Chain A
């Protein structure tokens, strides 16, 4: 399936939900926040949030800043 993740169009194997995407990317879901098509997805809903072809996903985390 095709998703745009953090601004980059990428091809993925079929992924059922956000939990599967996080695993596919090798990320720790407890340390990130996610937007799907400009809507924030609560962490508790990652496993219930189905992915569709063409979804735009933003995955962010805290970094150093002033």
Chain B
């Protein structure tokens, strides 16, 4: 790139191509209107969604799809709340019927306060979902060994946690995340644990293909403004990765020539 010609920097997952490298969740917002505004402000093309029972006592209550519209965003149904492979398959089959897509986010959490993934069950669930025809983006721990097993089993994307869901702690294990990025031939996304814009920049500067976040935007004092910040952070980190950072030195190196001094 010479500054006169912008080459489009798209990424692909499961045969679908996207320009935005920021995927946003749709939970924890004040209301669906704020949620939709945040997703727009983030420039997101993909949003994660959950599947739950309809509230039969009040069928007139607002519905997500009336605000965050499926013709504007690619819905990525998740398996939040599922603790077994069978639960995940049942949930995503219903999601496929509700929306008609096969690109999904698998998350099988341990039933613990830290919410970290149950990787043994995640891998088992992945195999069940692939056998059922799904394209599966897999939320996982930052363990390169399990990440490789997921890829070998056919995961469409590897999505290691930076830190526990909703913790806002940023990337806790740069070494492991770097190893996962290096070894993977499918997209790698940091999913969960981002707290603020610099966390997203760091993930992208390491070479992640995209970042997925929810709480960092939804729980900001001004969610729409934070969505804008995250949009710029992901772009900045990506551009820095593509540009290739300068070498680090131990000593100073003058920016102004030392020759021609008066």
Contact yes or no, A62 B51, CB < 8 A: yes
| Minimum CB distance partner of B55 in chain A | A6
In the complex, B53 has a CB within 8 A of chain A: yes
Contact yes or no, A65 B60, CB < 8 A: no
Residues of B within 8 A of A5 (CB): 56
Interface members, chain B 121-167 (any A CB < 8 Å): 165-166
Of the listed stretches B2-10, B13-21, B28-36, name the one at the interface; the rest are far from the partner chain. B28-36
In the complex, per-residue mask of B196-220: 1 if CB is within 8 Å of any chain A CB, else 0: 0000000000000000101100000
A32-B98, A33-B97 are known contacts. Are A64 and B56 too (CB-CB below 8 A)?
Answer: no
Interface members, chain A 33-66 (any B CB < 8 Å): 33-35, 38, 40, 42-43, 58-66
- 22 A-B pairs with CB atoms under 8 Å apart are A5-B56, A6-B53, A6-B54, A28-B63, A33-B51, A33-B95, A33-B97, A35-B94, A40-B97, A62-B49, A62-B99, A63-B51, A64-B26, A64-B32, A64-B35, A64-B49, A65-B27, A65-B80, A66-B27, A66-B166, A66-B212, A66-B215
> Which listed residue (B56, B65, B95) contacts A31, Cβ 8 A?
B65
| Minimum CB distance partner of A65 in chain B | B50
Contact yes or no, A8 B65, CB < 8 A: no
A60 to B95, CA, bound (A): 9
| Minimum CB distance partner of A58 in chain B | B53
In the complex, B229 has a CB within 8 A of chain A: no
A61 CB to nearest B CB, Å: 5
A5 to B121, CA, bound (A): 29
Q: How large is the interface on A (under 10, 10 to 19, 20 to 34, 35 or more residues)?
A: 20 to 34
In the complex, A26 has a CB within 8 A of chain B: yes
Residues of A within 8 A of B49 (CB): 62-65
In the complex, A16 has a CB within 8 A of chain B: no
Residues of B within 8 A of A62 (CB): 49-51, 63-65, 75, 77, 95, 98-99
A60 to B80, CA, bound (A): 14
Contact yes or no, A65 B63, CB < 8 A: no
In the complex, A7 has a CB within 8 A of chain B: yes
Contact yes or no, A61 B56, CB < 8 A: no
- Total A-B Cβ pairs within 8 A: 101
Residues of A within 8 A of B (CB): 5-8, 25-28, 31-35, 38, 40, 42-43, 58-66
Residues of A within 8 A of B93 (CB): 40
Residues of B within 8 A of A63 (CB): 26, 49-52, 64
Contact yes or no, A60 B98, CB < 8 A: yes
A28 to B212, CA, bound (A): 31
Contact yes or no, A60 B48, CB < 8 A: no
A27 to B59, CA, bound (A): 6
Residues of A within 8 A of B54 (CB): 6, 25, 27, 32, 59-61
Contact yes or no, B27 A60, CB < 8 A: no
A61 to B75, CA, bound (A): 12
Residues of B within 8 A of A27 (CB): 54, 59
Contact yes or no, A25 B56, CB < 8 A: yes
A59 to B55, CA, bound (A): 9
A6-B54, A32-B98, A40-B94 are known contacts. Are A61 and B35 too (CB-CB below 8 A)?
Answer: no
